Amino acid sequence: MGDPYIDSLEILGYGPHAVNQMGTLLVGLDLDLDPAIEVMRNRVSAQTGLVAELLTKAGAVEAVTYAGQHPQFNPVVAGHDLLARAADYVKSQPGGAVLKSDLLDGRTKTAMRKLRGSKLAGLLAHAITFFGTKGASLGEAVSRKAELVSAHQALEKLNRDARVSRTERREYTPEVEAARARWLDTYVAAKHLARCVLTLHDKLDLLSEIFDDLAEVHAVPGVRD
User: pLDDT tens, 75-100?
Assistant: 888 899 999 999 999 999 999 999 99
Percent of the chain with pLDDT over 90: 60
| pLDDT value of position 69 | 44
Which one has a higher pLDDT value, 124 or 164?
A: 124
**pLDDT more than 70, % of the chain:** 85
Alpha-carbon distance of 224 to 24, in angstroms, equals 24
- When pLDDT is cut at 50, 70 and 90, the band that residue 158 belongs to is confident
How far apart (Å, rounded) are the C-alpha atoms in residues 133 and 196? 47
Q: Which of 2-16, 69-83, 129-143 has the lowest mean pLDDT?
A: 69-83
pTM for this model (two decimals): 0.58
Each residue's pLDDT tens digit, 204-221: 999 999 999 998 888 887
For 99, other C-beta atoms within 10 Å of its C-beta total 21
Residue range 153-179: mean pLDDT, rounded: 74
pLDDT tens column, 181-192: 999 999 999 999
At 62, the pLDDT band (50, 70, 90 cuts) reads very low
pLDDT of residue 225: 59
Q: Is pLDDT of 19 > 70?
A: yes
Rounded distance between C-alpha atoms, residue 211 and residue 219, angstroms: 10
Q: How far apart are CA 83 and CA 209, in angstroms?
A: 26
CB 43, CB 186: distance < 8 Å: yes
Give the least confident one: 79-93, 104-118, 161-175.
161-175
Q: What is the pLDDT of residue 147?
A: 92
Instruction: Output the pLDDT for position 67.
Output: 46
DSSP 33: T
Confidence category of residue 4, pLDDT binned at 50, 70, 90: low
Q: What's the confidence (pLDDT) of residue 60?
A: 60
- Burial category of 208 from C-beta neighbours within 10 Å (exposed 0-12, middle 13-18, buried 19 and up): middle
Would you place residue 15 in the very low, low, confident or very high pLDDT band (cuts 50, 70, 90)? very high
